[in-house]
């Protein structure tokens, strides 16, 4: 399964701290007709949790997603 997002890998903990933003995954783009779009995720959002689990790395998001 896919979520339908692309992540900006340049978003780091240092950048988050400098801009007073939460650490997580910065959504660069949301694919048309995707589950992410239907869930209301938008470009510029920061994913900090998935299904109640804290997410800081793309691999963590993938692992949680693959549980479904």
Q: What is the pTM of this model?
A: 0.87
Judged by DSSP in three states, 6 sits in: strand
Predicted pLDDT at 1: 75
What b/e readout covers 45-67, taking b as 16+ CB neighbours within 10 angstroms?
eebeebeeeebeeeebbeeeeee
pLDDT digits (tens, 9 = 90+) for 34-55: 999 999 999 999 999 998 999 9
| CA within 13 Å, CB half, 33 | 0
Instruction: Give the ranges where the chain is alpha helix by DSSP (H).
Output: 13-18, 35-38, 58-65
Residue 49, strand partner residues:
54
């Amino acid at each position: 399964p896919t979520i339908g997002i692309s992540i900006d890998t340049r978003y780091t903990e240092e950048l988050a701290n400098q801009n007073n933003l939460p650490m997580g995954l910065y959504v660069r783009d949301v694919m048309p007709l995707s589950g992410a779009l239907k869930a209301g995720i938008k470009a510029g959002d920061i994913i900090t949790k998935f299904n109640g689990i804290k997410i800081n790395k793309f691999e963590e998001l993938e692992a949680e997603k693959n549980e479904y």
